[in-house]
Amino acid sequence: MATYEELAKSLYPNMPMDILDLFATEWSRTGDPNVAIAEVRRSDAYEIAFPGNKRPDGTVKFDEVTYTGLKESYIGTLQEYGIPRNTSVDLLTDRLTGLIEGEVSAREFAQRVDAVYQGVQENIPQVQEFYATNFGLELTPESIFLGALDPAVGEEIVAGRITTAQIGGEAARAGFEISGDFAQRLQRAGVTQAHARQLFTTAETQLPQLQDLQAQQGVETSEQFGLEEFTEAAVFQSPEELQQIQRLRAEETSEFAPTTGAARTGRRVTGLTEL
């Protein structure tokens, strides 16, 4: 005849041993596996083994088999993008509770990860070059992806510079070369990779127009509007640069639609728009 420990393992093959032992003990005491698992779910040990799985009223979001399977699916998704299992487990240590509390399905998690990957994969070479030039470190594509997925990963190595490097990569993608200090200033202002892409794409189109207008008005090449001046107007709402743009556009008949300054809360950028 199977022991309660053996029966417990057959029901919950992937349950942590301390929880499994507690379940087997409760089962032997009550004679009812449903009562036993209810008792286990009320224990402090359960909170540690299955973080985020209990609602305020004490009910669970997922049964223990589903919970374990969901965690494994998260890990499997990250492995599909080249993230080793051990790294995935470390990544999920802090993230798992929030994912479970949000009842994020395996499919939704995969969609979220893919969205992050699509956002970085097309300019990984530029990010790598920028990072090596400005910070003296060689990043693998997986490191860049991890940094975008969770900036806390490898914080002691990356030190919050992944987004800075991505800003530099977006600049290079649009044909601009910016310094590390310039990229860091944008990052500190809250510019994300998506904001940077919009900023530099707009600058790629509109800077030549502004420079042509300046040339027509006799402005020396060395004094012409550059990327930093454009950014001062677009991101930091510098009155001087904004007025300079307005004066230039006042000389032409067609209406100019510059990238406006980003809406900000304090020093944080909340969006870039065009008028």
DSSP-assigned letters across all residues of 158-207: HTT-HHHHHHHHHHHHTT----HHHHHHHHHTT--HHHHHHHHHHHHHHH
Instruction: Give the pLDDT score at 187.
Output: 81
The strand ranges marked E within the chain are 263-265, 268-271
Of 232, 204, 153, 151, the residue nearest 165 (C-alpha) = 151
Q: How far apart are CA 231 and CA 181, in angstroms?
A: 14
Instruction: Give the pLDDT score at 177.
Output: 87
Using DSSP's 3-state secondary structure scheme, residue 266 falls into coil
Residue 27 CB contacts under 8 Å (≥ 6 apart), including other chains: 4, 7, 8, 33, 36
Residue extents of the structural domains in the chain: 4-102, 122-188, 193-271
Instruction: Give the pLDDT score at 262.
Output: 47
Instruction: Give the pLDDT score at 87.
Output: 77
Q: How far apart are CA 156 and CA 62, in angstroms?
A: 35
Inter-CA distances, 54 with 37, 230, 261, Å: 13, 51, 44
Q: What is the pLDDT along the chain (275 residues), one digit of tens a residue?
A: 479 899 999 998 888 999 999 999 999 999 999 999 999 999 999 999 999 999 999 899 999 999 999 999 999 988 888 887 877 887 787 778 888 888 889 999 888 888 878 777 777 788 788 777 877 767 777 777 776 676 554 443 345 556 777 788 888 888 888 888 888 888 878 788 788 888 898 888 888 888 888 887 776 665 677 888 888 887 877 777 777 777 777 766 454 444 444 444 444 443 343 42
Instruction: Give the pLDDT score at 162.
Output: 61
Of 97, 92, 142, the residue nearest 120 (C-alpha) = 142
Q: Any idea what the Cα angle at residue 151 is, between residues 145 and 157, rounded to 5°? A: 90
Instruction: Give the pLDDT score at 270.
Output: 39
CA–chain centroid gap for 175, Å, is 25
Q: How far apart are CA 63 and CA 122, in angstroms?
A: 39
The strand ranges marked E within 8-49 are none
Contacts 24+ apart (CB under 8 A), 173-177: 173/123, 173/126, 173/197, 173/200, 174/200, 174/201, 174/203, 174/204, 175/204, 176/200, 176/203, 176/204, 176/227
Instruction: Give the pLDDT score at 252.
Output: 63
Inter-CA distances, 1 with 10, 192, 251, Å: 14, 62, 95
Residue with token string 């200033």: 185
- One-letter amino acid of 223: E
Helix H or strand E encompassing 103: none
Stated pTM of the model: 0.54
Residue ranges in 102-140 assigned as alpha helix (H): 106-121, 124-135
Q: Any idea what the Cα angle at residue 226 is, between residues 221 and 230, rounded to 5°? A: 140
